[in-house]
Amino acid sequence: MERTRRARAPGERSRRRILGQAARLATIEGLDGLSIGRLAQATGMPKSSVYVLFGSKEELQLATIEAARASFIEEVVSPALRDGEAGRDRLAALCEGFLGYVQRRVFPGGCFFVATAAELGGRPGRVHDLVAAYQREWRDLLEETAREAAEAGELGPGSDPAQLAFELSTILAGTNIVAVLHDDDAAIGHARRAVEARLAA
Amino acid sequence: MERTRRARAPGERSRRRILGQAARLATIEGLDGLSIGRLAQATGMPKSSVYVLFGSKEELQLATIEAARASFIEEVVSPALRDGEAGRDRLAALCEGFLGYVQRRVFPGGCFFVATAAELGGRPGRVHDLVAAYQREWRDLLEETAREAAEAGELGPGSDPAQLAFELSTILAGTNIVAVLHDDDAAIGHARRAVEARLAA
DNA sequence: TCCTTGTACGAACGATCGTGCAGAACATTG
DNA sequence: CAATGTTCTGCACGATCGTTCGTACAAGGA
């Protein structure tokens, strides 16, 4: 048991190191622009080793998405679920967590899922489906939290949780694009005001 | 005169045909994913002809951006400037123009500039700069129109045109991403409600 | 008339892409 | 220590990338 885990460790460690670089690279070059050769060069491993650790480029992309999701949960979701009590506070914490995560450039190209969602657009395939599923998961989290807030009476009387979650998620995604494209953190400030206004009413 | 125009016509016609395909392809494959070989195959011309008409891949990308901008102006901006009188009406017409343009899939991957802005992110170079300039041009148009509306007293008293333009542009961009990613026009409906609410207050 | 210019076409270049494979390197077991 | 079974690595493959070159044709200016 312990033996086997230690035996598999070297492969796991290499995988983890590659995936860290892959997630960072993918926010700049795109998931398609991810090349096994460049990844090998960035980690100092031979190309064939990188390849054999994942089996195919598509599997590498899928694993990269999973790694990025783990990072997103650790950096954005978990802190908000821990700090924000519930309802509106938690909703604010999620938005602020996202904005801080973009601002401090956890990934050099901003939010991994905004970048890949825009890239994959309407293309078919497993990679697209996985990104779409996680994007929806994020919006569902916002929506459910908004629903809690609405039921607690913390939002205006006529507020629609689905509509609110839609507006917040699109504003956050759009903010990411503008902030990265112009390397301009003023966008983050605008976004904070927008979220504030939407959560006050 | 007429002779020279007819003499120069074949090159211009080829360029136009290539750029039309290029703009459509770029919203799916990305500006980087645009390959001269595929473009040649799509237009039935030899690869070298496509190449020599633009001189380099970067020039092809720049020309593609210009072509996409012309399409955007024709499909979104001009109708709104013609129909919407001024101020708030015009602002509403611009937003609705954008949403209709996304919904009817003028480009298969949605708005060209949202797709490329997300792709180019923080990369350096002339291609990035041109996309960033046109993205800013679009937001400036929204902002100036919002300012007209505010000065005409059509918006709420405490409204900030820059903030309003930021919110509208990010909501529109985010809507494009969601609508294309999930091939779900319900996002367009949500966006219409969001714009309406923002322009009513 | 020749000469320049611009467009069209085919072939080829070096580089890099994803992928496959035979064997070296390694740890584990007897 | 020897045998065995995984894991890693160097090398090579076909394909495609952007780019270049040589050539052919058509038209305008000298």
Q: In residues, how long is chain A?
A: 201
Does position A201 have pLDDT exceeding 90, yes or no?
no
Question: Could you count the other beta carbons within 10 Å of the beta carbon of residue A27?
Answer: 25
The Cα–Cα gap between B65 and B69 comes to 6
pLDDT at residue A146 above 50? yes
Of residues A115, A91, A90, the one with CA closest to residue A102? A115
- Interface contact flag, A27 B177, Cβ < 8 Å: no
Which window residues (5-24, chain A) lie with Cβ within 7 Å of strand C? Answer: 6-7
Tell me the nt nearest to B35, Cα to C1'. Answer: D17
> What positions of strand C are covered by protein, i.e. any atom < 7 Å from a CB?
6-12, 16-21, 27-29
Separation of CA A108 and C1' D29 in angstroms? 56
| Count of other CB atoms within 10 angstroms of residue A154 | 16
Q: pTM of the prediction?
A: 0.93
- B49 CA, C6 C1': separation in Å? 12
Query: Is the pLDDT at A10 greater than 90, yes or no?
Result: no
Predicted confidence at residue B136, as pLDDT, reads 98
Token pair, residue A33, equals: 């622009």
Least confident piece of the model among A118-122, B6-10, B53-57: B6-10
pLDDT tens-digit profile of B6-37? 344 567 888 999 999 999 999 999 999 999 99
* pLDDT score of A83 more than 90: no
Question: SS3 helix, strand, coil % of chain B, rounded to 5?
Answer: 80, 0, 20
- Is A171 within 8 Å of B169 when comparing Cβ atoms? no
Cα→Cα distances B29→A75, B70, B109, B190, Å? 30, 20, 9, 27
Percent of chain B with pLDDT over 70: 94
| 3-state SS, residue B8 | helix
For range B38-64, the mean pLDDT = 95
Q: Which pLDDT does position A1 carry in this prediction?
A: 34
Query: pLDDT tens, B169-180?
Result: 999 999 999 999
Instruction: Say what the pLDDT of residue B84 is.
Output: 64
Interface touch B170/A180, C-beta < 8 Å: no
Residue B86's pLDDT is 86
